[in-house]
A and B are shown apart, each in its own frame.
Chain A
Amino acid sequence: MAVSTGPQRRQTWRTRLYRWDSKGAPYAFVAPFFVVFAAFGLFPLLYTGWLSLHQVSLYNVSRSRWVGLQNYTDLLSGPPSRFFWNALRNTVTLGALSTVPQLLLALGLAHLLNYRLRGRSFLRIALLAPYATSVAAATLVFALIFSPEGGMANWLLGLVGVGPVHWEAGHWTSQFAIALIVTWRWTGYNALIYLAAMQAVPGDLYEAAAIDGANRWRQFWHVTVPALRPTILFTVVISTIGATQLFGEPFLFGGQSGHQGGAANQYETLGVLMYDQGFRDSMLGRASAIAWTMFALLLLLGLVNALIARRLRRAQ
């Protein structure tokens, strides 16, 4: 009896193991991501939310004091409110100054690269080079270009007879310079995404358009752009998120006063304000409140994007 059931039992054990393997293995394989995400994504998010309801200093987290929503009301109308609204405005203007030209340029570049060009692969790699450069290196080079003393930007302006500009000190001049760094770094990346999408557009659409007498410009406008709509939406979402979190470029561009976005806070973004309040002024609670406000802002922007996307899909 025992002898005859042996292999059978082993059989069921093996099938059970096999079944467990096919059902459980995927979870085991994705587990590392979720463990890391829980430790470095979810926990900090929740803990930051908890901190934002306290008055707590960086050096003394254990002595935190419950203050309810005071950190949030302070941001909206308390002592730091002037800096918060200023940072929000700067984030919006810097975001617009960098995202809009960046995506338009990327679209144009992708269109040009879609033609049969000599050295096409080289050009594509060259486009991606700024993206591969570190923020710190790029920003320091641009800070030299826009330096008031012997910078290249002022030298070029001097050639056409325009007096030296103190780029970093001015409100719009500094924002222009920072937007240029962002644009320089991300245009190539977006262009490659557009290019990939363009190559998926069926060639017969262009042939049909050509037979109908459409020139290249009209082909671009009536065939390429509609086909790229989902891709454009994707890049808009990604760029908006990037613009909301803008930190490295303004922080490093300002040198000694970068931590507060310039002496007059003229290019202080929400990210820079969060850093300044949290790590320079040791006010972790308020910095956490800024972090959550940024999070809420991103959710709001995501919602608006989703609504627009649905609209567009319906229009199609």
Chain B
Amino acid sequence: MHLSATSHSRRTAALATTGLLVTALVLTGCSSSSGGSAGAGSTGGSRITLTVGDFGTFGYKEAGLFAAYSALHPNITIKEDTTTAEADYWTALQTHLAAGGGLDDVQALEVGRIALATSDALNGSFEDLAKAPGVNKDDYLAWKWQQATTADGRTIGLGTDVGPMAICYRQDLFQAAGLPSDPAQVAALWAGDWSKYVQVGQEFQAKAPKGTYFMDSATGLFNAVVSSSAQQYYKGGTLDYKNSPSVKSAWDLAMQADAAGTSQGLKEFDTPWQTAFSQSTFATTVCPSWQQANIQKYSGPANSGKWNIAQAPAVGNWGGSFLAVPSTGKHKAEAEALVAWLTAPEQQAKVFQAVGNIPSNQKAYSLPGLVDFKNPYIGPNAATGQLFSTAAGTIKAAETGPHAGDLQNDFSNGILLVEQNHKSASDAWAATVQQIDSSIQ
């Protein structure tokens, strides 16, 4: 009895203390959030800390670039503020932009968000980087530069990496199905036309080893076809996917591939998709440059040397990012200089060597260790540096808009409705249109 009484009063005390502490934290939290590094000012000599907000793997830490920059500029310390998932990063960035606080000195923007960031709704929040010292427009791939440029000619983001596409395929499964396995011959099977890729799929499927499929999912095919076309979801500044020839042919090809049983119907990036790599159940996957890392990670050492890589029927871009400088920052000049340095050829080449991201700065292609880079896991020793840097140069600029990323997701989902939920093609199309209508106001 006595024991429980003391413990009870002790707990009350603890609770009261916690309550007061929380209140105190809340009150001080509100008042000090705007403080930060205000005292440092933007004068050249004083010590300042620059924060870089990014997501996933940008490779700067891996390539030792932040430390190198601090060595060049002893008064500058760089802190990376990184989030694993881009979707979470973007949600937080939007709320910070709306609130006008909590922003980092440098913020990364994914290509799917760049059209929204350059639109009138948001472009006032970012600095024009075209005039930053050391920035040379012609160094960057023209279409990449264009994507980050607003209607009135301000460039709010400098390109980091790009995601040119190829096709990764399993040499052993191709051989088993009586298809050639040499990259040049494989590329010749479908050169110039995505419908040939689907036809090769049907040939493969006719002689495929039991339990294997030609492709992992028809959604990858859909995205590849749309993103390698001149007209995608937008035309003349408005959303016009219903009349877009590429959306129609991509949808039809995806339906054809599914109906012919050439797709395993996996949900890309989901756990079953990851395990399917190690179980060797599909022979090809659409392969943006960053996909190489996934292939190696999920296929595992047991499948080393079994994958190879060939040119895609037509080259599109999937992924890649930009670095931007928010206008509310306290060290904008220093931040702009850092962005210009990080996206310069030498640094982009170092990132490529560290983590494999393909530079958007064309000058980097002429540096040693890039074009001559060979991937030991794929091929083995496939000339991926040559393949991807060439592909990046052939990508054409296509009109995009604020909802392009949402539409890509909605269409991927529409194809899943056919592949996993066994809806008819017309029902799935109708559901996709409804989904798009409900997600745009």
Contact = CB atoms under 8 A, between A and B. Distances in A.
Interface in A258-276: 259-260, 263-264, 266
A143 interface: yes
Interface in A157-173: 166, 168-170
A286 B441 contact: yes
Nearest to A83: B438
A36 B441 CA distance: 34
A279 B416 CA distance: 22
B306 to A, nearest CB: 20
B272 A280 contact: no
A263 B270 contact: no
Contacts of A62: 98
Contacts of A55: 441
B98 A58 contact: yes
Nearest to B420: A169
Interface hub of B16, B97, B416, B420 (most chain A Cβ within 10 A): B420
B434 interface: yes
Given A63-B121, A257-B416, A263-B413, A147 B271 contact: yes
Interface in B386-441: 406, 413, 416-417, 420-423, 431, 434-435, 437-441
Contact of A256 (B16, B20, B94, B270): B270
B261 to A, nearest CB: 16
Given A144-B271, A256-B267, A283 B441 contact: yes
Given A59-B98, A279-B91, A281-B439, A36 B270 contact: no
A88 B404 CA distance: 29
B432 to A, nearest CB: 10
Interface range, A side: 35 or more
Contacts of B97: 59-60
Contacts of A149: 272, 275-276, 279
B271 A169 contact: no
Contacts of B95: 58-59
> Interface of chain A, helix or strand or loop or mixed?
mixed
Interface in A54-96: 55, 57-63, 79-80, 82-83
A32 B417 contact: no
A314 to B, nearest CB: 37
Contact of B23 (A36, A58, A83, A148): A36
B270 A255 contact: yes
A29 B417 CA distance: 56
B122 interface: yes
B3 interface: no
Contacts of B439: 277, 280-281, 283
A210 interface: no
Contact of B22 (A36, A63, A263, A280): A36
A32 B421 contact: no
B80 interface: no
Interface string B251-285: 00000000000000001111110011001000000
Nearest to B94: A59
Contacts of B422: 169
Contact of A32 (B23, B87, B416, B434): B23
B271 A58 contact: no
A59 B122 contact: yes
B19 interface: yes
A297 interface: no
A282 B94 contact: yes
A33 interface: yes
A264 B417 contact: yes
B26 interface: yes
A127 B293 CA distance: 43
A60 B402 CA distance: 14
A60 B93 CA distance: 11
A169 B406 CA distance: 22
B434 A169 contact: no
A281 B269 CA distance: 21
A50 B268 CA distance: 39
Contact of B421 (A36, A39, A82, A264): A264
Contacts of A263: 267, 413, 416-417, 420-421
A41 interface: no
Contacts of A101: none
Interface of B: 16, 19-20, 22-23, 26, 87, 91, 93-95, 97-99, 116, 121-122, 267-272, 275-276, 279, 406, 413, 416-417, 420-423, 431, 434-435, 437-441
19 contacts: A32-B23, A35-B23, A57-B121, A59-B122, A60-B122, A62-B98, A79-B438, A143-B271, A147-B272, A148-B272, A149-B275, A168-B420, A256-B270, A257-B416, A263-B420, A264-B417, A264-B421, A279-B91, A283-B439
Given A36-B23, A79-B434, 16 more contacts: A32-B23, A35-B26, A55-B441, A58-B94, A58-B95, A59-B121, A83-B438, A147-B271, A255-B271, A259-B87, A263-B416, A264-B417, A264-B423, A280-B87, A280-B439, A281-B439
4 tightest Cβ-Cβ pairs between the two chains A and B = A59-B94, A32-B19, A263-B416, A80-B438
